[in-house]
Chains A and B, each alone.
Chain A
Amino acid sequence: MAILGSINPLLTVGLDGDNAWRLADYVKRGGYTALRGILAEKVPPGVVVDKVKKSVLRGRGGAGFPTGLKWSFMPNYLPVEKYVVCNSDEGEPGTFKDRDILRFNPHAVIEGMVIAGYAVGASRGYNYIHGEIWEVYKRFEEALDEARAAGLIGKDIQGSGFDFELFAHHGYGAYICGEESALLNSIEGKKGQPRFKPPFPASFGLYGKPTTINNTETFASVPFVLNIGPEAYLEAGKPNNGGTKLFSVSGHVNRPGNYEVPLGTPFSTLLEMAGGVRGGRQLKACIPGGSSAPVLPAQVVMDCTMDYDSISKAGSMLGSGAVIVMDETTCMVKALERLSYFYYEESCGQCTPCREGTNWLYQIIHRIEHGLGRPDDLDLLRSVTTNIMGRTICALGDAASMPVQSFIKHFQDEFAYHIEHKKCLVPPEIQRAGSGFFKATF
């Protein structure tokens, strides 16, 4: 069981026992009442969209875009096939909440997607599931079979006349497919290369048809929004940041795992829930929203509350809610080197600044880490990131640049030390202790 703690949870209530993911269990927890209600009462789709708008449910995939607003962009009046797509390609380093939602509460996602289909006039949906979590993909297919057998997806759902087919599609190892337009290309059987926007998916999405795409957690939250009502949902969080959110806490904490807390919960509370910094060591830094979000030094993050606005004010992003905790044993150059390698490796290769720039960034940081840094390397890094940011087809360019900018901004001394002394400020044996892998030795 990887949901390790919560405060006033919605999504993760009652997920004990091996069968929590089963339809029967979900129904016992009140599952599918929202969908059944809508269909039975023939609630107009516009009303469903308005409720989601009112709840200020913001996208849980990274950008935090208001979900109801996104749904309202769908050209409901157009008599063409429309699609609902769920983004379960969770690959942003530090993020592992969608995996647990799919593992323990897949029917919440299914229900959310069917409701979304109803609201935006779609009759087909796909859930794109990260290839590396194959067992979860298989389980989701089983959950789909259950839902289909129970008449919750398919033709004429619950005798309402509403048809909605839902399928799972698996990835096979490409981070970029988490970017929504790359994901659509990937479903179409192409390389997962992002598309230039506009047009946005709402007008030109899957197979060129209007498409709504949301994150797993976003869809999973929808039944709860409707069950408790939009006002109560908004209340559960804080103004402009409706509801609860799952935070994936990883790195140097005693109890890494997922925690569901109301948006606006202090960072310090979350850190405490996760058992505090491993081995009682000093917190050094934290990436509060997945590897693409700017890093925050300990003193800054300790003053934050975990919601879109507070984190943004502190100079970072809530992103996907992946909290990567780094303690004093961390070498910030090495940490950045690994992240930069990731973006370089995962760049789709399509547009020039990202393809060439992510490689260049990695090369520079790699040489600093390996004692070959040059005095003007930090300026060069800054300049290369400005040449990438805002000039690429998708946000991977920005995602690769923000860690670089924030690491060298907040930990400039450490980088400078590296360049000057050709070695790490944090002694290797201390670094080695941090991971806790070789328990016997340290």
Chain B
Amino acid sequence: MLSTESLQKIDREIAKYPPGQRQSAVMAALAIAQEELGWLPSEAIEFVGNYLEMTPIAAYEVANFYNMYNLKPVGKHKLTVCTNLPCMLSGGVDAAEYLKSKLGIEFNETTPDGKFTLKEGECMGACGDAPVMLVDNHRMCCCMQPEQIDKLLSELE
């Protein structure tokens, strides 16, 4: 199901925890699986569960609890915009509106060319740099005024 490279990464995570606590690595393992597959089909969740000696439903509970796991396929790039109050006060909602009209999609939708999926995010702990956007979960973009958004979109392949 997963590449040896991903499995090695997961093994490295497992090693962080005391013996008999493989389950502790589930969040990391799901993130690693998602990085490889782009999203988490239920087979991947079950695979990770088995690998960590968890029942599939226990792994599924985890995958469903945390927002950053993609339980459905997403576009090539997932853009998550924080619209929480501190960001909103500094343009977070406006940035989201700007993106929606530029991409022609609403939240939780993917552009017809499959390039972008737009998500609404909760506080990312970077409110001083509002508007804040997360690109593909792992890249934070700060102070996203219209020019910066335009630039980002044109850069993303």
Contacts and interface: CB of A to CB of B under 8 A. Distances in A.
Q: State yes or no: do A and B touch (Cβ within 8 Å).
A: yes
B94 interface: yes
Contact of A172 (B69, B84, B95): B69
A322 B121 CA distance: 19
Interface stretch (A14-22, A26-34, A432-440): A432-440
A250 B89 contact: yes
A122 to B, nearest CB: 13
B18 A174 contact: no
Nearest to A403: B85
Interface in A419-441: 432, 434-440
A170 B68 CA distance: 12
A132 B24 contact: no
Interface stretch (B2-10, B26-34, B107-115): B26-34
Contacts of A335: 85, 88-89
A189 B25 contact: yes
B62 interface: yes
Contacts of B28: 169-170
Q: Which of A99, A131, A432 has the most CB of B within 10 A?
A: A131
B25 A434 contact: no
Interface stretch (A85-93, A306-314, A393-401): A85-93
Contact of B68 (A172, A188, A249): A172
Contacts of B103: none
A175 B122 contact: yes
Contact of B123 (A134, A325, A342, A434): A342
Nearest to B65: A191
B93 interface: yes
B137 A134 contact: yes
A135 interface: yes
Contacts of A258: 128
B67 interface: yes
Interface residues of B, number: 54
Given A172-B27, A326-B89, A132 B127 contact: no
Contact of A132 (B25, B89, B124): B124
A98 interface: yes
A436 B65 contact: no
Interface in A183-214: 186-192, 207
Contacts of A130: 124-125
Given A96-B126, A170-B31, A175-B122, A192 B140 contact: no
Contact of B27 (A90, A186, A437, A438): A186
A251 interface: yes
Given A170-B28, A172-B67, A175-B122, A434 B127 contact: no
B139 interface: yes
Interface string A359-371: 0000000000000
A376 B110 CA distance: 41
B90 A256 contact: yes
Contacts of B140: 132-135
Contacts of B21: 188-189, 207
Interface string B96-134: 001000000000000000000000011111111111001
B36 to A, nearest CB: 16
A112 interface: no
Contact of B128 (A172, A174, A248, A346): A248
Interface in A109-138: 124, 126, 130-135
Contacts of B134: 132
Contacts of B139: 134-135
A250 B128 contact: yes
A173 B69 CA distance: 8
Give me the 9 closest cross-chain CB pairs, A-B, nearest first: A173-B67, A437-B91, A189-B23, A437-B94, A173-B68, A134-B138, A172-B66, A132-B124, A250-B86
Interface of B: 16-18, 21-28, 30-31, 52, 54, 58, 61-62, 65-69, 83-86, 88-95, 98, 121-131, 134, 137-140, 145-146
